[in-house]
Amino acid sequence: MKKIKIMIVEDEALLAMSLRIDLEDLGYKVCKFVPSGEEAVKIAKQEKPDAILMDIHLRGEIDGIEAAKQIKSLYGIPIIFITGYPSHETEEKIKSVEPIGYFVKPVASKDVHLLLNKVFDKGEDNTKETSKKDLKNSNKRAH
């Protein structure tokens, strides 16, 4: 079985490096991390990751939600959102993207691993169903 390829979009370099190390230790192939939404859209086309771990609040002209919308529209890549600033308003905004998950920082790489295993073991047909369940469950953890 091929390694699942993950792209990390995070403007906090230390967090991105920590996630990268943890995910690689868990057996994932991790693309270089990118710090902005604009760059994420461009790199997603080049790298073609299997999933993207996307911070919501990023430097640059577009935030993580807008970058995720563009990436899903153009390439259909599943998104996992992360944020240090959870709110009901944010949760409502990300629903339109239909993420496969949503985590509040600090992100436990084991939680990401469990979510990715669940999604990729079920196959693409069940991604939307899993997304709604995982968003609901991850929201419970956030509060």
List the domain boundaries for the chain: 5-142
Say whether pLDDT at 9 is over 90. yes
Return the bridge partners of 54, or none. Answer: 9, 81
Residues 67, 130: Cα–Cα separation, whole Å: 21
Give the CATH number of domain 5-142; options: 3.20.190.10, 3.40.50.970, 3.40.50.2300, 3.90.960.10.
3.40.50.2300
Q: pTM of the full predicted structure? A: 0.83
Confidence class for position 2, pLDDT limits 50, 70, 90:
confident
- Between residues 45 and 133, which one has the greater pLDDT? 45
| pLDDT tens digits for range 38-83 | 999 999 999 999 999 999 999 889 999 999 999 999 999 999 999 9
